[in-house]
């Protein structure tokens, strides 16, 4: 009985607390239950998301300009058979883009894959009014960092490109990168992400945010390398990790780790057994050799 009374007052209290909210909604003309979504992004940033397009091919022949104002295409940049890390943003961005590029530079120093040898980086401006002169100044700033001081040809390792709005937007749309000019702030709204392209120009993975751990970079570059897996350790890591589009990063696959661990245990057991057989045979051979040496003097004496 006491429990029923308690339950009754709980229901009444919940109704009393909810009534003002319901009344407020009823007082607002035209508002229905489906008109308000508290999780919806504000109108200013609506559409500025990244729709992951794994396996999509980017336009390779759109005309772009390099840091010296020369015409260049993504096809030319991919012609050496190396994967490309594509960073979309703009060079006069006040905050987000510089933070992303600093994260890229730090990741270059942490990753075991070698920039210029295993992959290249391409930064592409989403602002059609930015010029190659601006791109060149930005390139000099980042290539002066210690991560790039030992490179033979740093300018070819990290390219800074500009282009017309149609050419750039075609590439952005292909990788699912949303952006928009915000007149009130005189800035571009966009996401923080880098995209990994295979040598054929297909999207292999994404890494989100402004910091990119070296291991994640290695895994993403390995995925984009079209079979060029690198060292045995890199191959093992590549097999144990898989890109998870829902998390935007590489995650450990327990099943593969268990398979690899089982294979290593089996290898150790087989090696130990083989070693024991080898040691036993050598031990027996040593005993037979010693016995033969002992018998020879006796045989000679009997002959005399």
Give CA–CA dist 215/111, Å, rounded: 6
Show Cβ contacts of residue 196 under 8 Å, excluding neighbours closer than 6 positions. Answer: 83, 84, 85, 86, 203, 204, 205, 206, 207, 220, 221, 223, 224
Question: Residue 160 domain-assigned?
Answer: yes
The separation between the first and the last C-alpha atoms of the chain, rounded to the nearest angstrom, is 118
Structure tokens at 295: 């018998």
The reported pLDDT for the residue numbered 246 is: 64
- CA nearest to 247, candidates 105, 52, 38: 52
Please indicate, yes or no, if residue 249 is contained in any of the structural domains.
no
With a cut of 50, which residues of the chain have pLDDT below it?
A: 1-42, 227-239, 254-260, 299-304
| pLDDT of amino acid 230 | 40
pLDDT at residue 48, as a whole number: 79
Q: Which two tokens stand for residue 94?
A: 């006040």
CA distance 289 to 266: 34
CATH number of residue 185's parent domain: 3.40.30.10
Residue 55 domain-assigned? yes
Question: Does residue 289 lie within any of the structural domains?
Answer: no
For residue 78, being part of any structural domain is answered with yes
State which residues form the domain around 81.
45-227
Q: How far is CA 134 from CA 79, 196, 270, in A?
A: 26, 24, 61
Number of domains in the chain: 1
Is 180 inside a domain boundary?
yes
Span 21-36, pLDDT tens digits? 333 333 334 434 444 3
Residue 23 lies in a domain: no
- Bridge-based pairing of strands 71-72 and 179-182 is unpaired
What is the pLDDT, as a whole number, of residue 86? 98
In a domain, 133, yes or no: yes
Pair of tokens at residue 31? 């508002």
């Amino acid at each position: 009985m006491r429990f029923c009374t308690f339950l009754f007052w709980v229901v009444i209290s919940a109704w009393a607390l909810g009534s003002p909210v319901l009344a407020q909604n009823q007082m607002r003309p035209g508002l229905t239950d489906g008109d308000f979504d508290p999780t919806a992004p504000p109108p200013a940033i609506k559409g500025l998301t990244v729709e992951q397009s794994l396996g999509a091919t980017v336009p390779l022949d759109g005309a772009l300009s390099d840091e010296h104002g020369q015409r260049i295409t993504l096809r030319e940049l991919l012609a050496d058979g190396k994967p490309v890390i594509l960073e979309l943003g703009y060079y006069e961005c006040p905050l987000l883009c510089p933070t992303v590029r600093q994260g890229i530079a730090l990741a270059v120093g942490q990753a075991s894959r070698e920039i210029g040898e295993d992959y290249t980086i391409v930064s592409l401006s989403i602002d059609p009014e930015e010029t190659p002169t601006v791109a060149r100044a930005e390139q000099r700033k980042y290539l002066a960092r210690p991560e790039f001081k030992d490179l033979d040809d740093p300018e070819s390792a990290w390219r800074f490109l500009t282009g017309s709005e149609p050419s750039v937007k075609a590439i952005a749309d292909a990788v699912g990168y949303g952006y928009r000019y915000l007149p009130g702030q005189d800035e571009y709204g966009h996401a923080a992400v880098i995209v990994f392209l295979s040598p054929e120009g297909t999207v292999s993975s994404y890494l989100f945010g402004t910091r990119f751990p070296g291991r994640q970079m290695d895994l993403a570059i390995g995925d984009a390398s079209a079979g060029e897996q690198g060292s045995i350790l890199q191959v093992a890591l590549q097999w144990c990790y898989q890109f998870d589009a829902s998390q935007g990063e590489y995650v450990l696959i327990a099943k593969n780790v268990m398979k690899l661990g089982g294979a290593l245990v089996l290898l150790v057991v087989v090696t130990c057994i083989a070693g024991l057989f080898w040691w036993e045979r050598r031990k027996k051979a040593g005993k037979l050799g010693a016995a033969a040496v002992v018998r020879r003097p006796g045989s000679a004496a009997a002959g005399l």
